[in-house]
Amino acid sequence: MTGDNPTTSIYSIGVAEKKTKLTARRVRYYEKAGLVDPERTQGNQRLYSQEDIEKLKEIKSLLEQGLNLAGIKRKLKDK
């Protein structure tokens, strides 16, 4: 409670790694694959919202289930 944060629930990739248990490399790669869609800061830094974190977790879950980028993309796109 340091007052009020202008940050609703935005994390940098470092926090996302910890929250998703993935490596920054993977998180960036999945984003490039179109699995997630984070915001961008002025310096082009990725800003992952809580929603993105949960999406990354689902992607990780799907990957562990034997799916691949195409399969996850298919699920995410609900096609």
Given candidates 14, 21, 51, 54, which one binds DNA under the rule CB under 7 A? 14
Q: Binding to DNA by residue 61, rule CB under 7 A?
A: no
Q: Binding to DNA by residue 46, rule CB under 7 A?
A: yes
User: How many residues interact with DNA (rule CB under 7 A)?
Assistant: 15
Q: Which of 59, 74, 58, 69 is nearest to 33 (CA)?
A: 69
Q: How far is the CB of 14 from DNA (least distance, A)?
A: 2
Residue 13 host element (H or E): helix 13-20
Residues 15-44 that bind DNA (CB under 7 A): 15, 23-26, 28-29, 43-44
- Per DSSP, the residues of 23-79 read -HHHHHHHHHHTS---EE-TT--EEEEHHHHHHHHHHHHHHHTT--HHHHHHHHTT-
Which residues make up the interface to DNA (CB under 7 A)? 12-15, 23-26, 28-29, 43-46, 63
